Copies of this chain bind each other. A is one copy, B any other.
Amino acid sequence: MIVSIISIGDELLIGQTVNTNAAWLGKELSLHGARIQQILTIPDDDLIIHKAIDESTSDLCIITGGLGPTKDDRTKKVLAAYFEMPLVEDEATLNHITEFFARRNRPMLPVNIDQALLPKGCEILPNRMGTAAGMWFKGKGKSVISLPGVPYEMKGIFLEEILPRLSKYYKINALYHQTIITHGMGESFLAERIAKWESSLEKAHLSLAYLPSTGIVKLRIGSNKGNVDKPLIDHKIQELQTLIPELIVGYGEDSMSSVVAKLLTKLNSTVGTVESCTAGNLSSSIILNSGSSIYYRGSLLTYQTEMKSSLLGIEPEFINRYDVVSEEVAKHMAEAGKKRLCVDYCLSTTGIMGPTSGDSNHPVGTVWIGLSTDKETIAKKFHFGDNRLRNIEMCTLSALNLLRITLLKDFSL
């Protein structure tokens, strides 16, 4: 099954919006066995949209964008004209739009009512999250789906309406792959460390891709023989586990935060944070997972140095003696937080995120991360770079990883 994607919107061409929709669709479709032929991004222009649809040669063409209620949105009109389907009011869609606004206690506007005017003869794909319905056109030897450009609406329609129909309409040969999530080593060093193992994959006709993002390198092992190679891939993953055990955080859709959440839940333990340089980024990462109110209790964000004294009771002399970014202060923060928040595990962060050095004598990128448990209090020093946002993210990941390793130890006891 060959799919092409057309992304419509001037904002994509001039770079005001990054095309995350196409990436998401490409990932979902590949996982379900489709091959993405191309992604074409074009402006909100009737003639250009018409030409792109006419020239598409794939089994299925998925279009995103241009379905909003405003004048610059052109897609629906072009598609109706192309497939020669008149726009008529769709009762179910009108009812949905009416309810959508009623539930939000907001008046419905004429432009919203117009969104229920849909090409007669296309298959309507309901949009639970918004007011622009998806549409599936078949005709002129083509199969074309049109979806709104708002990411969560597009994803909702794809998952609820399109995916269940794909296996019915098309012959699908799913790619098989497994992903391993690593933290703690950059892409090129990791590649060097596992070079021999990587060669053994090549010999076995398995593919390996490195997918680096801030603080995380994902390794994806794939086979185009579908499930046939599952035992071989599982065996190769076992080999990797003995090669880089300390770097493997999880598998598949795991994230650092979800792995920590699972461990805390299994251990029936609570966590809190005392954050300086991360200022809430660590705690908000912990609560990304639903159900977090069971294990996450709360935090003290002592951003200004003075707050470390007023909220945690750390003497200013102590801070002056050791420097606000130091092993001693990181440990003191974690210990004081553990008591005040009444938690089993308390993480602390103190560091220089940049661009300036603040109250510390250390270079930008220096961070101490502390962790206090019932057994001990530890602290670890890190050196990140000079990019403020990246430093905040790296510090958050490193703190979660310190907690993860400690939880794993406590779990195996």
Q: Which residues of B contact A278 (CB under 8 A)?
A: 284
- Decide if A340 is an interface residue (CB 8 Å cutoff): yes
Give min CB distance, A392 to chain B, whole Å. 7
Q: How far is the CA of A69 from the CA of B18 in the complex (A)?
A: 27
Q: Which residues of B contact A110 (CB under 8 A)?
A: 192
A8-16, A157-165, A259-267, A366-374 - interface stretch: A8-16
Task: Say whether B293 contacts A304, CB under 8 Å.
Answer: yes
Give min CB distance, A334 to chain B, whole Å. 16
Bitwise, A345-382 to B at CB < 8 A (1) or not (0) is 00000000011101100000000000000000000000
Q: Which residues of B contact A15 (CB under 8 A)?
A: 22-28, 30
Task: Say whether B40 contacts A39, CB under 8 Å.
Answer: yes
How big is chain A's contact interface, by range? 35 or more
Q: Which residues of B contact A178 (CB under 8 A)?
A: none
Q: Which of B68, B112, B187 contacts A70 (CB 8 A)?
A: B187
Task: Say whether B307 contacts A303, CB under 8 Å.
Answer: no
A205-213, A225-233, A315-323 - interface stretch: A205-213
Task: Say whether B310 contacts A209, CB under 8 Å.
Answer: no
Task: Say whether B40 contacts A13, CB under 8 Å.
Answer: no
- Decide if A383 is an interface residue (CB 8 Å cutoff): yes
Q: Which residues of B contact A166 (CB under 8 A)?
A: none
- Decide if A236 is an interface residue (CB 8 Å cutoff): no
Task: Say whether A209 contacts B10, CB under 8 Å.
Answer: yes
Q: How far is the CA of A311 from the CA of B104 in the complex (A)?
A: 35
With A300-B298, A392-B284 already in contact, the answer to whether A17 and B23 are too (CB < 8 A) is yes
- Decide if A397 is an interface residue (CB 8 Å cutoff): no
Q: Which residues of B contact A286 (CB under 8 A)?
A: 279
- Decide if A64 is an interface residue (CB 8 Å cutoff): no
Nearest B residue (CB) for A28: B15
A13-50 at interface with B (beta carbon < 8 Å): 13-20, 22-28, 30, 36, 38-42, 48
- Decide if A241 is an interface residue (CB 8 Å cutoff): no
Give min CB distance, A314 to chain B, whole Å. 13
Bitwise, A282-319 to B at CB < 8 A (1) or not (0) is 11101110111100111111111011001100000000
Task: Say whether A191 contacts B69, CB under 8 Å.
Answer: yes
Q: Which residues of B contact A172 (CB under 8 A)?
A: none
Q: Which residues of B contact A150 (CB under 8 A)?
A: 212
Give min CB distance, A350 to chain B, whole Å. 12
Bitwise, A48-71 to B at CB < 8 A (1) or not (0) is 100000000000000000001111
Bitwise, A165-204 to B at CB < 8 A (1) or not (0) is 0000000000000010000000111011000001000000
A206-253 at interface with B (beta carbon < 8 Å): 207-213, 218, 220
Q: Which residues of B contact A17 (CB under 8 A)?
A: 23, 211, 213
Give 6 pairs: A residue, B residue, CB < 8 Å, sorted on A.
A12-B39, A16-B209, A70-B188, A70-B210, A298-B301, A307-B341
Given contacts A15-B30, A300-B300, 11 further A-B pairs with CB under 8 A are A15-B28, A17-B211, A38-B48, A70-B191, A104-B383, A109-B188, A152-B387, A152-B390, A280-B284, A292-B303, A293-B303
Q: Which 7 A-B pairs have the closest CB atoms?
A: A280-B280, A15-B27, A15-B26, A280-B283, A299-B301, A39-B41, A298-B307
